[in-house]
């Protein structure tokens, strides 16, 4: 009988995640950027939808609200 050892957890990276999106999703992001009100550029639109999804999960009790003061953040120039 062989015993498999669990892999150690991967260290968290400070690098932003790299994500590949389908062409149709990119087209929607570009359209939302042109419409305005959803963020500036693809990154801004993506950020808005992620933040809205997290806020909804907090409201539904799926996630526990965190204290923003516990996180050091620098604002990006492309944020609105």
Q: Which of 50, 20, 55 is nearest to 38 (CA)?
A: 50
- Sign (positive or negative) of CA dihedral 30, 35, 41, 46: negative
Count of other CB atoms within 10 angstroms of residue 46: 17
Per-domain residue ranges for the chain? 23-64
Q: What is the pLDDT of residues 13-70, one digit of tens each?
A: 777 778 899 999 999 999 999 999 999 999 999 999 999 999 999 999 999 999 888 8
* 3-class DSSP assignment, residue 53: helix
Q: What residue has token string 């808005």?
A: 48
**The whole model's pTM is what?**
0.66
């Amino acid at each position: 009988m062989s015993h498999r050892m669990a892999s150690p957890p991967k260290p968290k990276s400070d690098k932003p995640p790299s994500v590949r999106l389908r062409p149709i999703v990119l087209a929607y992001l570009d359209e939302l950027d042109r419409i305005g009100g959803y963020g500036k550029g693809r990154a801004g639109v993506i950020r808005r939808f992620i933040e809205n999804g997290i806020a909804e999960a907090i409201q539904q009790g799926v996630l526990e609200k965190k204290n923003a003061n516990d996180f050091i953040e620098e604002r990006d120039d492309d944020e609105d």
